A and B are shown apart, each in its own frame.
Chain A
Amino acid sequence: MTLRKYLVLAGVAVFGAVGDSMLAHGMKQVGRISIHHLQEVVLAVLNPWVAGGILLLLAFFAAYMSALSWADLTYVLPATSMGYVVLALMARFALHEHISQLRWTGIILISAGVGFVAGGPSRTPHPHEEPELFEENEPEEEPEEVAAGGVNR
């Protein structure tokens, strides 16, 4: 894992969280959409907050695709889950939503899950792929695997 790759993962987390928050703020302005008027969900993109949120989610998507080109899906998703913490802070301080102690505890557990996965290997080597692809990850993976009691290497 290089600094560039960590920055891409951070970009996935931050762009996703801020983009979702802007969508949420926009949808509060749009109001509840009735099951009988589902076409209103398409018109919602005209709201400036929803439109801004879509732009950020496009940036999120570019970073996400880049990450998936060199790491496992089951590594990228948890590694970028720090976005939940960003999201909770945004919901609390920018959108002024109430966050109960139970929800805070849930957010902490999710963050703990992130910590568990973050130190592990970022990619499963598949035999049909070229071995050079994985070389830069090797030195970091070995001690982590031993610490986790991993037996399947």
Chain B
Amino acid sequence: MKHLLTWSSITVLVVFSVLGDIVLSRAMKQVGDVHELWHRAGWWGVAKRILGNANFVIGILAMTGGFFAMLFALSWADVSLVAPAAASLTFLGNAVAAKIFLREKVDRRRWIAAALVAAGVALIAG
């Protein structure tokens, strides 16, 4: 039961996180470099531009869902299992999703990084 609840909540957390990361990344690319924007438009301009972005709002909702799944998981398992496992699985999911949905160039270097992280996750969970 403990393992089932832990890994179910980690799975929910990963799905929310990948969805959140992908739409937030798209949102911030639409917003543009916030440092440059801050020089041109100030804090208020940056806040308006970010909060007015629909992808940003969707991303926040997904991240909020993931956050409560994370709290639930942490009530059942150690942070040294939950945080790396969820974040690493999210990273693998993101590598695939970023290539498909964001058309990022996921080259050999990035795939090797993904494989090392996957191995690391297997060891942490074992």
A residues bordering B, Cβ < 8 Å?
4, 20-21, 23-24, 27, 30-33, 35, 38, 41-42, 44, 50, 57, 61, 65-66, 68-70, 72-75, 77-78, 81, 84, 87-88, 91-92, 95, 97, 99, 102-103, 105-110, 112-114, 116-117, 119-121, 124, 126, 133, 148-150, 152
Contacts and interface: CB of A to CB of B under 8 A. Distances in A.
B114 to A, nearest CB: 7
B22 A110 contact: no
A65 B24 contact: yes
Nearest to A21: B79
Centre residue among A4, A110, A121 by max chain B CB count within 10 A: A110
Contact of A77 (B79, B94, B112): B94
A69 B71 contact: no
Interface of B: 5, 21-22, 24-25, 28-29, 31-35, 37, 50, 63, 67-68, 70-72, 74-76, 78-84, 87-88, 90-91, 94-95, 98-99, 102-110, 112-117, 119-124, 126
Main secondary structure of the interface of B (DSSP, over half): helix
Which among B21, B22, B83, B103 has the highest number of chain A CB atoms within 10 Å? B83
Nearest to A54: B67
Given A65-B50, A73-B94, A99-B80, A113 B113 contact: yes
Contact of A73 (B21, B81, B83, B114): B21
A13 to B, nearest CB: 11
